[in-house]
Structure 1
Amino acid sequence: MFLFGRRREKPLAGHTKCPAERNASAALRAAEDFIADHRNGVKVLGTDTASCAALKETVDDVLAQLSPAEHSEYIGDVYKIAAYGVMHTPALVIDGQVVCTGRVPSKNEIASFIKKRR
């Protein structure tokens, strides 16, 4: 039945996954370990777009007003972003919890997110 589906090829003996899949799963496990070790703090997840940079600047401005000693961290690694479960960037993470994704919230919203989580 060629027209109704693709033929599935049998995998070679001893080969269950291609090397790229094994490397991706190892990178994802390493990203999950990183997240488990670095739960505290304010993080901006992004992929180097204008909206990601805008969120980083806005978060830094709010943190300068609320607690001058604290700084945000920018995470651009795709595997770490995926380990947080984020599908749309930019995203804001406070103490290990994703509070906003896919948009740049206002300064008042960011301040309320930070006050709620702490």
Structure 2
Amino acid sequence: MHEAANINSVMRALADPTRRAVFERLVGADEITVVELTRGSGVTQGAISQHLKALKQAGLVTERPEGRRVFYRAEPEGLAPLFDWMSHYGVFWRERFANLRTLLKEIDP
């Protein structure tokens, strides 16, 4: 059940396009503040904060307070449940494609 909860929270967090964009900006930066994330995003600082909260709850973001500022960074290990889930289906599809290849060879002599 814990694994299902993890994959659900990661997928739910990344389902929102704005949240994905925030996460992608975090991946491309070492550390970044809410103010920096807000610049040029077309989204309010409050909305960015809410997106960061959701990403943090899903384990995709960590924060480091420094005085009055808080720095955020992507947490790659947070994607592990998604990677594991996709790996399972990768095996599934590789087997199906191998079966399809064999079938096509049998049909086309």
TM-score (norm 2): 0.32
Higher helix share: 2
TM-score (norm 1): 0.30
